[in-house]
Amino acid sequence: MDIALFIILGLLAALALYAIVIYNNLVALKHNVSKAWANIDVVLKQRHDELPKLVETCKQYMQYEQATLDKVIQARSAVASAREQGDVAALGAAEGQLRLGLGQLFAVAEAYPELKASEKFQHLQARITGLENAIADRRELYNESVNLNNVRIEQFPDVIIARLFSFKDFVLLEFEEEQKTDVDMKSLFG
């Protein structure tokens, strides 16, 4: 009888250790998603701070393009609002609008040689383009972290621990298809 008790206790201890390992892995995945989001948030904040400088620089040269500038300003506000609320779906939509507005702004800037030649404009354009690339890279990392988390909390036996401790799935940061396309230059100058 003593051997059977030791076997049962050994199995229970092994099962408890296995549950602890699963729990710790799920916690690590959840924190990886949070870390990836924080990395995106930093770059979004940097770009948020640069956009007013770009708009002000453009205003000095582009007297007749207020609608284009307004689109960028409105989209910037929408991104900031979604970012502050942590609303990934709204952020994806707002990001798409902002990227579209920036694309139009840079395209319209082609019609203003003095603006294009401005050192400040060139610096801001390069800085914002660099930040856009960083956002794209960090978005990819975030989505990979989200995917790993979401798959693990649905796999057996992890799903048992995930439900027991209320682990949740996260939303991918996606941009709408029409907002991923390049700006149609002909429509801007036609």
In this structure, the chain runs to a length of 190
Looking at residue 118, what is its pLDDT? 85
Helix axes 66-85, 88-109, angle to 10 degrees: 160
Which of 3.30.559.10, 1.20.1440.20, 1.10.1040.10, 2.60.120.10 would CATH assign to domain 2-189? 1.20.1440.20
Question: How many whole angstroms separate alpha carbon 75 and alpha carbon 62?
Answer: 19
Q: What are phi and psi of 166, to 5 degrees?
A: 55, 40
The C-alpha atoms of residue 92 and residue 98 are separated, in whole angstroms, by 10
Residue 26: predicted pLDDT: 97
Residue 188: the pLDDT is: 39
Helix (H, G, I), strand (E, B) or coil at 157: coil
Q: What is the per-residue pLDDT for 187?
A: 44
pLDDT along the chain (190 residues), means of 10: 89 95 97 95 92 87 79 91 89 89 86 85 90 92 96 95 95 70 43
* Torsion angle in degrees (nearest 10) through CA of 4, 9, 10, 12: 130
pTM here is 0.78
Instruction: Work out the end-to-end distance of the chain between its first and last CA atoms, rounded to an integer number of angstroms.
Output: 90
Note whether 71 and 179 are within 8 A (CB).
no
